[in-house]
Amino acid sequence: MARGWESKSVEEQQAQAVSSSSRKMGPPPTPDQVTRQRQRHGLLLSRTRVIQQLEAAQNPQHRQMLQAALADLDARLSRLD
């Protein structure tokens, strides 16, 4: 009996979350904004991957290449903002 009550409560909470989040959202983003958000997200993912590789890299030449890639990603992120 309690399980049915819990599931109804969860369903109510989910419905409330959806309705409240839809009210808080402003106008939909423009296609340009969506493109920029996707580019930014992709660059941030790449940056995270490069940082992880840099932490594990032992070869000085490989570290230098990763540092250059990180600098390039940072520059691209700053131009995107």
Q: Which helix (H) or strand (E) holds 80?
A: helix 60-80
| Local confidence band at 34 (pLDDT 50, 70, 90 cut-offs) | very high
Residue 69: inside a domain, yes or no? yes
Percent of the chain's residues with pLDDT above 90: 62
Domain count across the chain: 1
Tell me whether residue 43 is in a domain: yes
Residue 15 lies in a domain: no
Q: Is the pLDDT of residue 41 over 90?
A: yes
Supply the mean pLDDT for the chain.
Answer: 86
- Which one-letter DSSP state was computed for residue 3? H
CB count in 10 Å sphere of residue 49: 13
Percent of the chain past pLDDT 70, that is, above it, reads: 81
Kindly state whether residue 48 falls inside one of the protein's structural domains.
Answer: yes
Query: pTM value?
Result: 0.65
Q: Print the domain residue range for 58.
A: 33-81
Is 49 within a domain?
Answer: yes
